[in-house]
Chains A and B, each alone.
Chain A
Amino acid sequence: MSQSYTVTAVTVVVLATVLVGGFGLRISRTTSDFYVASRSVGPGLNAAAISGEYLSAASFLGVAGLVLLHGPDMLWYPVGYTAGYLVLLVFVAAPLRRSGAYTLPDFAEGRLESRAVRRLVSVFVVGAGWLYLVPQLQGAGLTLRILTGAPDWFGGVLVALVVVVAVAAGGMRSITFVQAFQYWLKLTALLVPALFLLLAWQGDGRPRVDLGLTGAVADRADHPLYATYGLIVATFLGTMGLPHVVVRFYTSPNGRAARRTTVFVLALIGAFYLLPPVYGALGRLYVAELPHGANADAAVLLLPERAIGGLGGALLGALVAGGAFAAFLSTASGLTMAVAGVLTQDVLPSRGVRHFRLATPLAMAVPLGGSLLVSGMPVADSVGMAFAVSASSFCPLLVLGIWWRRLTPPGAIAGLLLGGGLAFAATVITVSGTVRSGWPHALLAWPAVWSVPVGFLAMILVSLATRGRIPPGTNAAMTRFHLPEALMPGARGGPGGAGGPTGTSGPTGSSGADSAGGTSGTGGVR
């Protein structure tokens, strides 16, 4: 039966994840390895790891499901996920790496020298991370229910357990290997069945695929054009603030490598996104009788068996299921890593690897509870809301923090609260289902169009009104963000003073550049 193949495939993926993680653990020796893989991951490996982490349940299942149901306009989702990396590259990638911080709260404190901003950013990071974790766990539950008939909660609990063990045990170094491995696994798991599906389609005499909009489309949104723009703004600007994406940049050795890595990432995720539309289009042909609603996410999983059938279909279906599990595991581990990092630094009392390991189950417990309570939303849509919150809060903070010298702590707080807070409130209202139609629903379901400008404006206007509060270290921070590493005064010639005669430092001491580099690394790797 096909169920046993699926169970085997999922088991293999889970075991491989744990084993590759264990391999990483063996070479993960220092605290620095644990948190940021010693900042020494080369562009190739790091790009595969970033892509593996980024391609979530929404990409693997959600995109094809939405295209199947609502037509080609839904292809803006994968385009937006990819273009978000381009915006991240041109405004944020290299300066963020050079800031030397490890998490968004580190960045906020290093740039604005304010504990209050740090605490607020921590709250948003944990919130956005949890918002993004819920659909991953729900996707896992859906996959196992469709393919094996397991109860809905089982898949989510399984993913949560594996992630907690892998993250708490191995940290960043081993996760890097796991995620690089999972990118290639996901690509294979969609590519190989897609080739067979196209062959089967050819064999059936190339029946005409209905590429246009069918009857089911109308109820997606009352104002489809506005919804499309809302989607574009949220995904283009929201990617840079996603907690698991930001942490990854600190594993590059320097700003230049961070930039080059991002170009690799764009190529890798672009290659992956060529595949889901194939499933969406063929799904219209072969899985047309799929029940509408949340189960559209199952189209990718069901397609091989429906279109090919027999043993081949069952095996290919199992391969797809394995790839889907890789998607849940990799994104969930990245998010858990980021959320647990923030919890360790800003919530739990003491610092260190041991407390990080304690924070990991905590980081996973809340979204697991949420995934069991809330249900019935397509994964791509709920992920879209995390993007909207991120675009309205972290995007203004990062862009203005990196490029604008007049940003003040009160301005940052106002922007975070107004932009991010309003986007979050809109999300809550939409999920609660109190507003269901017309312009109010469209404005609340796709809030980024108005909440991003609100966030930027609040940050700029309040900063201009509080000119006296510009942090004294602003110029030093700007220098650190933008100067190439080779020209940084403190950075040449390796670690200062390690081999030199330590007792003889000259009168014009070395404190200046070193302390400038140290302010931002408060919670990082020391």
Chain B
Amino acid sequence: MTGESRQPAPRREVVTGEPRRVRPLPRYRAQAEIEEQTALGDAYVRSLMRSQLRAGLSAFAVLALVAGTLPLAFAALRDTTAVWVVLGFAAYPLLTLLAWWYVRRAERNERDFARLVKGRPAP
């Protein structure tokens, strides 16, 4: 749009086409709804948050249940070998597995959400 130096006086022109944009437009309608924070866009974000919170709470519930009952179980059993085996060795692979399960579920949630958003291309 900056006038070329050869032309002496820039002419006033009426632009009738689509304005060119710095960023591309949102490609999908749902994306635009989210960007403009409409009620529908808000509902999209809330549904994603709900599914992600459910995934996080599930993993946390497993952890809290096990960690909450183990000290009582150890106190009842009075078997120190069990404490060594569980806390010294078994805990770490189990924690890593739980983390891996959560990451898979969280990424699946995000993929599902992307599919939902991309489901209806913008007109």
Residue numbers of A with Cβ under 8 A of B are 71-73, 75-76, 78-79, 82-83, 85-87, 89-91, 94, 211-213, 225, 228-229, 232, 236, 256, 259-260, 262-263, 266-267, 270-271, 273-274, 277, 281, 403, 475-476, 478-479, 482-484, 486-487, 489-490, 492-493, 496-497, 500-507, 510, 512-513
List 10 extra interface pairs beyond A86-B59, A489-B32, A507-B19, CB under 8 A.
A73-B83, A75-B87, A79-B92, A83-B91, A86-B98, A90-B99, A211-B84, A263-B99, A504-B20, A510-B21
A263 with B96: CB separation less than 8 A:
yes
Chain A residues within 8 Å of B81, by CB: 211
In angstroms, Cα B102 to Cα A246, docked, is 20
* Cβ of B63 to closest chain A Cβ, rounded Å: 6
Chain B residues within 8 Å of A475, by CB: 37, 42, 45
B87 with A489: CB separation less than 8 A:
no
In angstroms, Cα B90 to Cα A273, docked, is 11
Say which residue of A87, A212, A502 sits within 8 Å of B63 (CB atoms).
A87
Chain B residues within 8 Å of A483, by CB: 34, 45, 48
B16 at the A interface (CB under 8 A): no
Number of A-B contacts (CB under 8 A): 163
Given known pairs A79-B91, A229-B71, A270-B92, the reply for A482 and B45 (CB within 8 Å) is: yes
Ordered by A's residue number, 24 sampled pairs between the chains whose C-beta atoms are within 8 Å are: A72-B84, A75-B88, A78-B87, A83-B67, A86-B63, A89-B103, A236-B67, A266-B92, A266-B95, A266-B96, A270-B91, A270-B95, A273-B92, A277-B88, A281-B84, A403-B53, A479-B41, A482-B49, A492-B23, A493-B23, A500-B20, A504-B19, A506-B19, A506-B21
Residue of A nearest to B117 (CB): A487
In angstroms, Cα B80 to Cα A71, docked, is 9
B24 at the A interface (CB under 8 A): yes
Q: Which of B56-83 contact A (CB under 8 A)?
A: 56-57, 59-60, 63, 67-68, 71-72, 74-75, 80-81, 83
* Cβ of B109 to closest chain A Cβ, rounded Å: 9
Chain A residues within 8 Å of B23, by CB: 489-490, 492-493, 496-497, 510, 513
Say which residue of B36, B45, B59, B71 sits within 8 Å of A228 (CB atoms).
B71
Residue of A nearest to B46 (CB): A478
Given known pairs A89-B103, A476-B37, the reply for A75 and B48 (CB within 8 Å) is: no
Given known pairs A91-B56, A476-B37, the reply for A274 and B98 (CB within 8 Å) is: no
A274 with B22: CB separation less than 8 A:
no
B9 at the A interface (CB under 8 A): no
B1 at the A interface (CB under 8 A): yes
In angstroms, Cα B106 to Cα A497, docked, is 32
